[in-house]
Amino acid sequence: MGKTGIFYGSTTGTTEEIANLIAQKLGISPDDVHDVRDFTREMIDQYDYLILGTSTWGDGEMQEDWLEPVEVLSQMNLTGKTIAFFGSGDSQGNSFSFCSGMGELYKKLKNTGATFVGCVPHDGYNFNHSEAIEDDRFVGLPLDEVNEGKPVTEKRVEEWTKTLNFNPRSQKLD
């Protein structure tokens, strides 16, 4: 089993908390949970599996700390690496761009050669539109602490991390 790194962009701390929760569920060391503000290309080289998280701001944009790192990542050859996404958003206040930032991240990285896992059916979410939907599924795990609260987040994370065994049984996005 290779090494997993979590990178998150978070403005008010919600996505950061979720990143730590995912790490806890997967037994990932806090040393491997990174604020994307600290991103360097060399950090990516040490990981086989990447879990990338962003909240959504503006009108469907990824969290701003991702803007430069994602450009660097998108120019890298990530063949052999496996990537899963998670996002936090507001499905009621921003019902037409729910967790769209997660979709922006995916779109920037989809041609890097990486394998993408951890997509999620949209049943059980109440929203109108999301740029994070591809082939009728979310490209990663959307979370809505604004409306659903922490217990639901915990349950969604618990279920998602169980599917994230980074083997071929995980749902592939290609």
Ligand X SMILES: Cc1cc2nc3c(=O)[nH]c(=O)nc-3n(C[C@H](O)[C@H](O)[C@H](O)COP(=O)(O)O)c2cc1C
Binding site residues, ligand X, CB under 6 A: 10-15, 55-60, 63, 88-90, 94, 97-100, 145-146
* Tokens read off for 47: 């990981």
**Which residue lies nearer to ligand X by CB, 59 or 135?**
59
Q: How far is the CB of 3 from ligand X (least distance, A)?
A: 24
Nearer CB in complex with ligand X: 134/145: 145
Closest residue to bound ligand X by CB: 89
Shortest distance (Å) from residue 158 CB to ligand X: 19
Considering the complex, state which of residue 13 and residue 27 has its C-beta at the smaller distance from ligand X.
Answer: 13
Q: Which amino acid is at 165?
A: N
CA distances from 16 to 36, 55, 84, 112, 127 (A): 10, 9, 16, 25, 23
The DSSP H or E segment spanning 50 is strand 49-57
Measured from the CB atom, the residue of 13 and 168 that comes closer to ligand X is 13
Compute the distance between CA of residue 8 and CA of residue 85 in angstroms, rounded to an integer.
Answer: 10
Contacting residues for 90 by C-beta, under 8 A, at least 6 apart: 56, 98, 144, 146, 147
Distance of closest approach, residue 32 Cβ to ligand X, in angstroms: 19
At closest approach, how far in Å is the CB of 89 from ligand X? 2
Compute the distance between CA of residue 88 and CA of residue 77 in angstroms, rounded to an integer: 27
Nearest distance in Å: CB 63, ligand X: 5
By C-beta, is 34 or 81 nearer to ligand X?
34
